[in-house]
Amino acid sequence: MSLEPTLDALPIRAEGFWNGRGMRRFRRHKLAVFGAVTIILMTLACVIGPWLLPYSDTFIDIRQRFAPPFAGSHVLGTDPLGRDVLARLLMAGRISLAVGFCAMVLAMGIGIAVGVAAGFYEGVIGAALMRFVDAMLCFPTIFLLLAISALIQPSVPSIVMLIAMTSWMEVARVVEAQIRSLRTREFAQAAVAMGSSNMRIMVRELLPNAIAPIVVAATLNVAHAILAESYISFLGYGIQPPTPSWGNMLENAQSYLTSAPWLAIIPGAAITLAVTSFNFVGDGLRDALDPRMDLP
* Cβ-count burial 93-115 (b if 16+ within 10 Å, e if not): bbbbbebbbbbbbbbbebbbbbb
Q: Which positions from 2 through 41 interact with other proteins, judged by CB under 8 A?
A: 2-4, 6-7, 10-14, 16-20, 23-24, 27, 31
Using CB under 8 A, which of 103, 112, 169, 227 touches other proteins? 227
Sketch the per residue contact string, 154 through 193, with other proteins: x for CB under 8 A, - otherwise: x---------------------------------------
Using CB under 8 A, which of 105, 264, 289, 293 touches other proteins? 264
3-class DSSP state for residue 42?
A: helix
Return the number of the residue (181 or 197) whose C-beta is nearest other proteins: 181
The amino acid present at 183, given as its one-letter code, is R
The DSSP code for 15 is -
Regarding 124 and contact with other proteins (CB under 8 A), the answer is: no
Tell me the C-alpha distance between 40 and 4, whole Å. 26
30 Cβ partners below 8 Å, 6+ apart? Answer: none
Give the nearest distance from C-beta 132 to other proteins in angstroms: 6
Q: Are 117 and 168 in contact (CB under 8 A)?
A: no
Return the number of the residue (17 or 194) whose C-beta is nearest other proteins: 17
Of the candidate spans 49-57, 197-205, 207-215, 275-283, the one that interacts with other proteins by CB under 8 A turns out to be 275-283
Give the nearest distance from C-beta 136 to other proteins in angstroms: 7
Using CB under 8 A, which of 61, 121, 196, 215 touches other proteins? 61
Give the nearest distance from C-beta 77 to other proteins in angstroms: 16
Of the candidate spans 44-52, 107-115, 202-210, 224-232, the one that interacts with other proteins by CB under 8 A turns out to be 224-232
Of the candidate spans 84-92, 115-123, 204-212, 236-244, the one that interacts with other proteins by CB under 8 A turns out to be 236-244
Tell me the C-alpha distance between 118 and 122, whole Å. 6
Of the candidate spans 67-75, 190-198, 200-208, 225-233, the one that interacts with other proteins by CB under 8 A turns out to be 225-233
Regarding 143 and contact with other proteins (CB under 8 A), the answer is: yes
The DSSP code for 204 is I
Return the number of the residue (70 or 143) whose C-beta is nearest other proteins: 143
CA nearest 161: which of 225, 93, 97? 225
Give the HSE-up count for residue 34: Cα atoms under 13 Å, Cβ half-sphere.
13
Q: Which positions from 82 through 121 interact with other proteins, judged by CB under 8 A?
A: none
Count of residues in contact with other proteins, rule CB under 8 A: 82
Cβ count within 10 A of residue 244: 25
* Cα–Cα–Cα angle for 161, 165, 169, rounded to 5 degrees: 145
Tell me the C-alpha distance between 36 and 182, whole Å. 31
Q: Are 10 and 294 in contact (CB under 8 A)?
A: no
Return the number of the residue (14 or 194) whose C-beta is nearest other proteins: 14
Using CB under 8 A, which of 52, 124, 153, 195 touches other proteins? 153
Using CB under 8 A, which of 103, 112, 253, 285 touches other proteins? 253
Residue 229's Cβ-count burial label (10 Å; 0-12, 13-18, 19+) is buried
Regarding 80 and contact with other proteins (CB under 8 A), the answer is: yes
